[in-house]
Chain A
Amino acid sequence: MPILAYIDPGSGSMLLQVLLAGVLAVPFFFRRVISDGWHRIRGNRDDATRSEGGEDATSDR
């Protein structure tokens, strides 16, 4: 399906994403696996399936 973007994505930006996604995917995957595994060991099944840790916008600071 061709990309029909609402705003101008910038062809340079799209190309960069392909590059970065390729580079970042592997360490991200392993970080995820390790994090999920660690949470499972500690019995936090819910944490294991949420997106990776760190503050999200809903937490109260």
Chain B
Amino acid sequence: MVDPASFRDPSGFVFRRDGVLYRQVQAFGAADWAAFTSTGLYGRLAADRLIVEHHEASVELAALPDAVAVIRPRVIETISHPYEWSFSQLKEAALLTLELQSRALDVGMRLKDASAYNVQLDAGRPILIDSLSFELAAPTEPWPAYRQFCEHFLAPLALIAHRDPRCGLMLREFIDGIPLDLAARLLPGRTRFNLGISAHIHLHAGAQRRAANEPPPAADTGKRERRISETGQRALLDSLRRTVEGLRWQPSSHWSEYASTTSYSDAATSSKGEIVREMLVTVGGRTAWDVGADTGVYSAIAADAGYNVIAWDQDAASVDAHWRRVRGDGKPAILPLILDLANPSPAIGWALEERASFLERGEPDVILALALVHHLAIGNNVPLPGVARLFARMAPHAIVEFVPKEDPMTRRLLAARRDIFERYTVDGFREAFGGPFRIVREAPVTDSPRTLFLLERR
């Protein structure tokens, strides 16, 4: 019942008992934990919603010996990982981390690590979930988490802003952040004229290389004590903040213009919207995954129908635009994330258990697969029965839009290739999906060759 990702910190760990999530504080971290509350730091952070609140629980509930406290933190329903975040989400998480460090310094403490996995996205904002992140420390000690901050946050943000948004996916491969020497090589040369990137990535990579080439210290030398002034500590933090804030990404991709360039007539659009809404109401669920959500037109319909929505899309620009819009509209029920359904987030990390795969992230009540199956079946050559089987693994209900070959969008996909898709027809769809699902309702979209299906898993 100990969480498979919670094993590196001797100060404590997360575990589940009878389905409830707890965090156990070990004797090793007792002093830091006491200071966290006695300085009022926890209270202020919780009041400002920068950290998840928790309730004190009985120490009797401890999972392992040496516990000094057990707490029950508020659970974030949807866990997402940094490689699924868009630029703006990662940037906000970075700024949160720096703000936390600043506030910790105010009371003689500091963040002991700066991992992006300590942050989750909750109701439209980033929030710290690791209540044991803080430790007592003299402000004249250089920040041990500086390297990790640069690799988890600064490097990917710089690569996305200055190279390509798909660089964010590198975080899936480099689970402890993007190595600075790699980031330095991949960034364009002009980034050397940016003081912050020059210092915290290019110079930083050089410093790491130099240190690696030094011989190991003799056995009897104590650990070297380096010192910086308090002002220097603040200045460094301020420099990181200014560097992160200075990174901006304005994408232009054909996907974000999709909403205005599709082949739909107004009648077709409103018909589709109305049918989707009716189907969502019929399902009567609480959570929905909008797969291939683009900028979230239908996620909004689901949210209005009372659903909590995760809006998955593989296009970083669409996800970022969607995130910025739902934040502005104050629609915390929608969480946009980056994902390619044909190659979704796998389980990664130690023993392949640290970070759960996409399919292990819990089951929504319904998935919306609108304007999607033609991309999977034709664009990706996945036979319809295979698509049906995957959807059935994902949720008990599905609202799927069948986009036939006559539709201009499908014609575009077939334009430059041989049509090998004999069974890609409405009959083929009914047969493929009728296996794992029962077709509850079939509704043609007005003024369009497309058909919407409401499906219930058998």
Residue in contact with B232 in the complex, picked from A1, A3, A6, A24, CB distance below 8 Å: A24
* CB <8 Å contact, B209 and A17: no
A41: Cβ under 8 A from any B Cβ: no
Indicate if the CB atoms of B238 and A58 lie closer than 8 Å: no
- Closest B residue to A4 using CB positions: B223
Give complex CA distance A54, B225 in Å: 33
CA gap between A16 and B144 in the complex, in Å: 12
Q: Is the CB of A21 within 8 A of B48?
A: no
Contacting pair A28 B99 (CB below 8 A): no
User: Which of A15, A55, A57 is the most central at the interface, judged by chain B CB atoms within 10 Å of its CB?
Assistant: A57
Chain A hits for B333, CB < 8 A: none
Contact between chains at B228 and A21 (CB < 8 Å): yes
Hey, what's the 0/1 contact readout for A11-24 against B, CB within 8 Å counting as 1? 11111111111101
A43 located at the interface, meaning its Cβ lies under 8 Å from any Cβ of chain B in the complex: no
> Chain B contacts of A3 at CB under 8 A?
141-142, 144, 223, 225-226
Tell me if B215 counts as interface (CB < 8 A to partner A): no
Q: What 1/0 flags go to B87-101 for Cβ under 8 Å of A? A: 000001001101100
A12 to chain B, nearest CB (A): 3
The one of A8, A18, A28, A58 in contact with B50, judged by C-beta atoms closer than 8 angstroms, is: A58
A-B contact count (CB 8 A): 131
> CB-CB < 8 A to B112: which residues of A?
5-7
- Give min CB distance, B144 to chain A, whole Å: 4
**Interface assignment of B297: CB less than 8 Å from any CB of chain A:** no
- Interface residue? B242 (CB, 8 A): yes
Pair B236/A13 contact, Cβ less than 8 Å: no
B-side interface mostly: helix
Nearest-CB distance from B141 to chain A (Å)?
A: 6
- Is B219's CB within 8 Å of the partner chain A? no
Q: Are B207 and A15 in touch, CB under 8 angstroms?
A: yes
Shortest distance in angstroms between B165's beta carbon and chain A's nearest beta carbon?
20
Any B CB within 8 A of the CB of A42? no
Do A61 and B328 contact each other (CB < 8 Å), given the known contacts A6-B113, A11-B211, A13-B147? yes
User: Are B199 and A20 in touch, CB under 8 angstroms?
Assistant: yes
A residues 8-61 touching B (CB-CB < 8 Å) = 8-22, 24-25, 27-29, 51-52, 54-58, 61
If the complex has contacts A21-B228, A24-B236, A61-B327, are A6 and B144 also in contact, measured as CB distance less than 8 A? yes
In the assembled complex, how far is the CB of residue A56 from the closest CB belonging to chain B, in whole angstroms?
5
Contact A2 to B245, CB < 8 A, known contacts A21-B235, A25-B235, A56-B95: no
Q: Output the residue of B227, B229, B231 with the most chain A CB within 10 A.
A: B231
Residues of B within 8 A of A15 (CB): 207, 211, 226
B447 contacts A by Cβ under 8 Å: no
A29 to B238 CA separation, bound complex (whole angstroms):
11
Cα–Cα, bound, A19→B287 (Å):
51
B146 contacts the other chain (Cβ, under 8 Å)?
yes
The interface of chain A, by Cβ under 8 A from chain B, is: 1-3, 5-22, 24-25, 27-29, 51-52, 54-58, 61
* A-B residue pairs in contact (CB < 8 Å), sample of 22: A1-B225, A2-B222, A3-B142, A3-B144, A5-B112, A7-B8, A7-B144, A9-B147, A10-B208, A13-B147, A15-B207, A15-B211, A17-B146, A18-B142, A20-B203, A22-B232, A24-B232, A27-B235, A28-B239, A56-B95, A57-B92, A57-B125
Interface on B for A, CB 8 Å cutoff? Answer: 8-11, 48-50, 92, 95-96, 98-99, 102, 112-113, 125-126, 135, 138, 141-148, 150, 199, 203-204, 207-212, 214, 222-223, 225-229, 231-236, 238-239, 241-242, 245, 327-328
In the complex, the 7 A-B pairs of residues with the closest C-beta atoms, listed nearest first: A21-B232, A12-B211, A28-B235, A5-B144, A9-B144, A24-B235, A12-B208
